Amino acid sequence: MLEAKAIHKIYLNGGKSIPVLKGVDLSIDKGKFIAIIGPSGAGKSTLLHILGGLDSPTKGEVLFNGESLYNLNDAALSNIRNKSLGFVFQFYHLLPEFTVLENVLMPALIRPKAKGQRPEAEEAVKLLAQVGLSERVTHFPNQLSGGERQRAALARALINRPQFLLCDEPTGNLDSKTGSEIIALIKKLNSENQMAIILVTHNAELVKAADNIYYLRDGVLAS
């Protein structure tokens, strides 16, 4: 479903080339839970952003259901990100002026819809119950703990029923117990919804639930 072919990423700094990814190949099938681990600065987030259409590779291509992501125009790529890819980041990126329910509904509000079709709060409420936030629907982000904010961000990532969930250090701001709970919840959602998961982290203890584990070091990915 999602395939990276010979991905290179090179940054320029003061006229000097800094290679971050050096020919990464990766293929992810429906329903699989894969984890990518490696030290800080190894390029894990860069790779995840390229897989998710948030950053373009210097060389190589990413195929989504056989279609090259970076041959698409901005509107088509944005549509795939909105409908088919869910993102969970280390920093929750919840909008502080909106309630938890409104934050979760946000991707559905901007989703292209058939005439007369409207996003339903019922689905968002159901997701919030699924992630254990039934009592926080009308709360604002500043009224939540770190773990609760990440659960809200997870529900927001799921509102459009994506085929892939991309998680970038989702436990980085959490204590070990709460982090383990979030990973267990992600695994549960993976099993129940047959949704593919790509998790990047530097914490090897958190990836034991994954079907496959890859190591990114010196710009090269190894299983």
Ordered mean pLDDT values, 10 residues apiece, the chain (223 residues): 94 89 93 91 92 94 92 92 90 93 90 58 88 93 93 91 90 83 85 88 82 92 89
Model pLDDT, residue 152: 94
Q: Where are the domains of the chain?
A: 30-53+74-222
Phi, psi (deg, nearest 5) at residue 220? -120, 140
Task: Tell me how far apart the alpha carbons of residues 204 and 197 are, in angstroms, rounded to a whole number.
Answer: 16
The pLDDT of residue 112 is 65
Task: Report which residue type is found at 24.
Answer: V
Q: How many Å apart are CA 46 and CA 48, to the nearest integer?
A: 5
Residue that the structure tokens 């969970």 belong to:
88
CA distance 136 to 176: 23
Spatial distance between the Cα atoms of 180 and 178, rounded to a whole number of angstroms: 5
Give the single-character DSSP code of 161. Answer: -
If residue 150 lies in a helix (H) or strand (E), which one and from where to where?
A: helix 146-158
Q: What is the pLDDT of residue 202?
A: 84
Tokens of 74: 């901005």
Name the superfamily (CATH) of residues 30-53+74-222.
P-loop containing nucleotide triphosphate hydrolases (3.40.50.300)
Helix/strand/coil for 179: helix
- Angle CA(17)–CA(44)–CA(25) in degrees, nearest 5? 85
pTM for the predicted model, two decimal places: 0.87
